[in-house]
Structure 1
Amino acid sequence: MTVQSVPSVRIVEVGPRDGLQNIRDSIPTATKLELIRRLESTGLSTIELTSVVSSRAIPQLADCRDVLESSVVKRLISKSHLRLPVLVPNIKGLDIAIRHSIKEIAVFVSATEGFSKANINCTVEQGIERARDVASLALKSNIAVRGYVSCIFADPYTGPTPLAAVLRCVKELLDAGCYEVSLGDTLGVGSPLNIRTLLIYLLNNGIPLEKLAGHFHDTYGQAVANVWEAYSHGMRVFDSSVASLGGCPFAEGAKGNAASEDLVYMFHNAGISTGVDLSKLVETGVWISEQLSRTNSSRAGTALAATSKATLNAKSRPSKNSSLPWNFVSETERAQLHRSSVILNRPKSGNVLTASVISDLTSVVTDGSKGSQRQVLLYWDGPRKRE
């Protein structure tokens, strides 16, 4: 694949915030910071750091101040090419973000009343007003603002979400100054048809696709398909989480986010640049899954990690069929290719192929070719004559 100099798709990594917030077991702050550091090393340009929320509401993020005060985050904030949004629910959260020199925040609203009440304990209108106030103050402090709209397809308490409800929230957030609004399928119930219908509706009502991002959960295994459908209609920004970490505490049964590894794998195989080093991303997914003692739910990440491990094992595994040193060359689904060299060592006689030499070579090739698919290379330098 030819990687373009400028990525065609921007992946917004939400693992450190959205991916971790629902895990009940306390995660050390050092682990969160190491995750952020590893994610940045993959080439991701947008990483959601944390959320400044009440420790009672989301205990896992009670260390948000420690994260923001860390040398790791301060170093990353100094890099002008990075976007490091912090989710803030209210003015108090914004004040904390400002004190820590955060350059970008995110505000959120629900498109539906039931989820809004359960999530942020207010009506949709109150949620919009709150987001508008936070965005206004943030912009005055030269802080960029990103917006989230949750429950774009369904509410766990009130059922299907009307298209007009999503349109209303998107318009309100854009009018409030959000440079981008992420559409969240919080329950993961959407399908490509739902994506197509919603995007066409928003476009027909004056919402430009370049102002939208997709945030799709994988409850029914549709996240990657939904991302591709949205991309086909012109969307170019997608939220995802390494190892598919995530879910929603207010939506019982909701699975994790679209896996970052799955999206990068899909786009790269389609010749679409993301600017992300997939191998490093896979390593990060394996690492954080081990740290959390959780199954890695990224399909591509799991498969690529297994293939990489098998390749490493094959390279170091000695042959059982021959004393020759075998070097791993390549691997297909059904076979591994190993190569060994046989060098004639009679330079004084010109490496002439005598009957005895030919007999020895025949034995070497017959013995060495047993087992899985292998190649034996014969290096010969000398005249083709017999003594």
Structure 2
Amino acid sequence: MSQSEEPVAAMDRISQLSNDILCHILSFLPIKQAFTTTILSKRWLRVCYSLTVLSFNDETVADYETFRRFCRFIDTLMLSNQQESQLKTFSLKCRFWFNDDNRRSFDGWLEAAKQRRVEEFHIFLNNVTMSSNIFISQTLVVLKLENLRVEDENLCVDLPSLKTLHLKYVCFENQNDIKKVLKACPNLEDLHTSYPRYIRRCEKNKEFRSLFLSKLVKADIGSNDVPFKVIYNVKFLRVIKVKPSLKKNIKEFFKGIPVFGNLIHIELWFYGFFHGWDGVVQLLQHCPKLQILYMRKWNTSVSKDWECPISDLECLSSHLRSCTILNFEGSENDLRFAKYILQNARRLEVMTIGVNSSSSDGMQKHQIIEELSTCPRMSSGCKLSF
């Protein structure tokens, strides 16, 4: 067989594959590259219209005319009457701008995806106001929204199948809107909220009083985004910007925490402030099964001496395997807490300390290493890492 015949023979073999296999192969290509195969035959066009994962990104768009063609391409694919198969994922990442005409097209794309019983939406827009209809779907399992606005005074939500909800830099009309969304997700397992914004804030949290996400396994939230009583069933919890609201002091904040009976992994990110180790210990008292503790802190604001707890914590005596403290400043309080963990965690496997070399108030790094390396450890197998 000559070299010129080899590509033809290879194409013949590929063409003998079933539509399902061809569709699977094309799903690994960028959507525009996948459609270049349609020059081969009409069959490839049908295969492209059967793709179950559609991902659109305007990263190559340089001006409005190019963006308009980008939108027309999506129109051709999404609004075609050749679309029949169920759609698994619709992903749209737009950094460019929308006008009223493009907005109508965008709403049409969402409705077309919903008509195909879409399971996943991944939407990133450049601060564009989108239709609230995206929150109504019987088939949606994953919903990830980023950098957009949902402005609807009477937000309606119905997401009975939703298991994953990520809201990053999403602006709502009303502070109660996010509560409406959560109430309409009875099967939610994974929740991520990052810096939600509201045009109008509410003084009362009535919407949360009867809400409990019983199937939630993982939560990644800001400390004031969602009350802890709503998510206390989780196994994994990351809290960004650990701080009380303006109406609470730090003691009241930790007193209001429920018992996290299933929690095995927690991450605490103290941005811009750190109120001391008392609050952390209070939190650990509510996490009896905790195995992994990860903390990142900045700017210690507590000067009083910290006293180690008199009674043992259940998680230290029975479960804790890993403890990580980043931006460790080497203050007396920091050292007391680290030693408290080392001396009381019976099953601790690794203690990781990230020393803040820019701190001028605490010890030097070599002094911290020497101080903690010589500290007795309850767990003989514990490894200390800096």
Query: Could you tell me the TM-score, scaled by structure 1's length?
Result: 0.30
Q: Which one has the bigger helix percentage? A: 1
Q: Which one has the bigger strand percentage? A: 2
Query: Could you tell me the TM-score, scaled by structure 2's length?
Result: 0.30
RCO higher in 1 or 2 (8 Å CA, sep ≥ 6)?
1
